[in-house]
Amino acid sequence: MKAAPSKTEIQNARDSRLVAIVLVGTMALWLGAQWLGGHFGWETRFVFLFDMLAFAAFLWTMVVTYRIWRRQKAASEKN
């Protein structure tokens, strides 16, 4: 019989799921914005804005992933 997941494991799973959703959503929206920009001839500054928003989302996912890693490392050192 398995032990119940700890609070840390549950939080890591939630955060990991959120990171995955943000990564996939960001990529899909960014690709869509790039296609729309090319199709409708948007100015470069608008397309660049989407690039910066995607970069911010990717940076956020890196920070959250690092926090998950640190939390997991701290939990494993505790045991």
Which pLDDT band, with edges at 50, 70 and 90, does 78 fall under? confident
Helices assigned H by DSSP within 1-43: 7-40
Instruction: Name the residue with higher pLDDT: 12 or 79.
Output: 12
- How much is the pLDDT for 66? 98
Q: What is the pLDDT of residues 16-40, one digit of tens each?
A: 999 999 999 999 999 999 999 999 9
Three-state SS for 37-56 is HHHHCCCHHHHHHHHHHHHH
Which pLDDT band, with edges at 50, 70 and 90, does 3 fall under? confident
